[in-house]
Structure 1
Amino acid sequence: MLLRSCLAALAVILSVAAAPARAAVCHDKSMTQDEIIDAIKAEPGCEAAMKVFRDCEYGASGDVLLGDAVEKKCEADFLPGLKSAQKKTYGRELDRCDAKYRNESGTMYRSFTAFCRAEVSLRYSRKALKAGPKAR
């Protein structure tokens, strides 16, 4: 009887843990991943988009799509103005983020990678905005 109870409890725990996170509490309300991505895209700039990412993170693989939205938002500030060599350097920095946790298991490492990549894009955005349009 005890074994059956334990197995039933374990089955419930595993089924809950295996279900994908469909919503997060973000900005004091429950938001789906798509709603968070839309909020990131709606922000006026890279810094604000990164703040939404930090505020709404899952701490798991769901952060990959959120981080991608931040990357795209930030890249609008600098990517068109980069020369070929600078684009390659930027790509190598993103690749380093991908490689950093490549051999780690667990969804939290996908989150770490997403944040690493978003931080690289944020750094490039800050540099481009500080330099102004003439320096790019």
Structure 2
Amino acid sequence: MRFGAVLAVLAVLVVRTKSAFAEGCPAKSSQMDDVVAALNDARGCDRAMQVFDACAFGASGDVRLGAVAEKKCEADFVNRLKVPQNRIYQRELSACDRKYEHRSGTLYLSFAAFCRAEVAQHYAHQAQKAAGAGAR
């Protein structure tokens, strides 16, 4: 059982851990400020998530990158959430934090950052679908 958990973590590590020099990362360098600038330059939520994934450090630095991607996605929906919907959204973000809070190592901070950004992306997609349905 423990061996299986180690393999699962390693598999995620291989998928998620990429340097900012990785192919597909649009940042000028692997410096945090350059990666943040690339995230800020991304047009929309999905592109920000692609940049986040391509430029991720696989460590605690992803917390800052994830927050930028999260805010980029939130721009698509957060102001339109009613109070009960916002509570649910905040609960889902908190679940990401709790999921890894008792794990040691900076890799788990990266996992939590990705989880939070993916929740925001999901909400952005739902908002886009609702806007498309309302236009019909």
**1:44: how far off?**
1.1
1:23-51 per-residue CA deviation (whole Å, 9 max, x = no partner) reads 83134852311111111111110000000
1:27-82 per-residue CA deviation (whole Å, 9 max, x = no partner) reads 48523111111111111100000000000000000100000000100000000000
For structure 1, list consecutive stretches of 5 or more residues without a partner in the other structure: 1-22
Q: Which has the larger radius of gyration?
A: 1
The number of residue pairs the alignment matches comes to: 113
Q: For residue 31 of structure 1, give the secondary structure of its aligned residue in structure 2.
A: coil
Q: Which residue of 1 aligns with 2:72?
A: 73
Higher percent of residues as strand: 1
State the alpha-carbon separation in 2 of the partners of residues 133 and 76 from structure 1.
Answer: 17
Q: Which residue of 2 aligns with 1:42?
A: 41
The verdict on how the C-alpha distance between 1:78 and 1:55 changes in structure 2, with shifts beyond 3 A counting, is same
Q: Which residue of 1 aligns with 2:106?
A: 107
**1:89: how far off?**
0.2
Q: Which residue of 2 aligns with 1:131?
A: 130
For structure 2, list consecutive stretches of 5 or more residues without a partner in the other structure: 1-18
Indicate whether 1:120 and 2:116 are aligned: no
State the alpha-carbon separation in 1 of the partners of residues 101 and 27 from structure 2.
Answer: 33
Structure 1 runs, 4 residues or longer, greater than 4 Å off: none
Q: TM-score, normalised by structure 2?
A: 0.78
State the alpha-carbon separation in 1 of the partners of residues 58 and 78 from structure 2.
Answer: 27
**1:127: how far off?**
0.6
* Identical residues among aligned pairs (%): 50
State the alpha-carbon separation in 2 of the partners of residues 44 and 80 from structure 1.
Answer: 19
- Aligned-residue RMSD, C-alpha: 1.8
Q: For residue 29 of structure 2, give the secondary structure of its aligned residue in structure 1.
A: strand
Q: Which residue of 2 aligns with 1:88?
A: 87
- What residue identity is the alignment partner of 1:24? A
